[in-house]
Amino acid sequence: MEVTAIKAGIVIDHIAAGKGLLIFNKLNLAALGYPVVLLMNVSSQRMGKKDIIKIENFTAVDTAMLGLIDPNLTVNVIENCGVARKVCVTTPAIVKGLFACKNPRCVANADPDVSPTFHLHDEKTRSYVCEYCEELTRVN
């Protein structure tokens, strides 16, 4: 299966197999209005299988969300048919509004004014502590 290279835009590569669809949905790529390709289970020497997302003419992706879903993926910004730069994706130190606190007693789940906010607790276990109730949430 062949997918042509894009002239300008972004290629999200080395996505752990199975997480491409999650990224597609979380970033709401279907609603972007730009051409988007989601490749799943592509053969990879390094990973065995991987997912790839290509978005044409658009580069403003939410890197915090990408880092949260898969900190090992790579983001290539494409200009004039070549890689102009690589954007570093890491597990974000602070995450705001991307997921809900798992604690049903947390004010972030109850008050309309609150955007759920989390601080990275442990990068190894990918756990975050809620700014309000201090409950731990693990992101897988």
- Tell me if 139 contacts other proteins by CB under 8 A: no
- Tell me if 134 contacts other proteins by CB under 8 A: yes
Of positions 23, 29, 66, 108, contacts other proteins by CB under 8 A: 108
- Tell me if 95 contacts other proteins by CB under 8 A: no
CB of 72 to other proteins, least distance (A): 25
Kindly state the tokens that stand for 6.
Answer: 């894009």
Question: Other C-beta atoms within 10 Å of 10: how many?
Answer: 22
- Tell me if 133 contacts other proteins by CB under 8 A: yes
- Tell me if 48 contacts other proteins by CB under 8 A: no
Q: Which residues of 14-26 are buried (b: 16+ CB within 10 A; e: fewer)?
A: bbeeebbeebbeb
Tell me the three state secondary structure of residue 85: strand
- Tell me if 17 contacts other proteins by CB under 8 A: no
Kindly state the tokens that stand for 110.
Answer: 């109850």
Cα-Cα-Cα-Cα dihedral sign, residues 133, 111, 26, 6: negative
What does the binding site for other proteins look like in residue numbers (CB under 8 A)? 103-108, 110-114, 121, 129-136
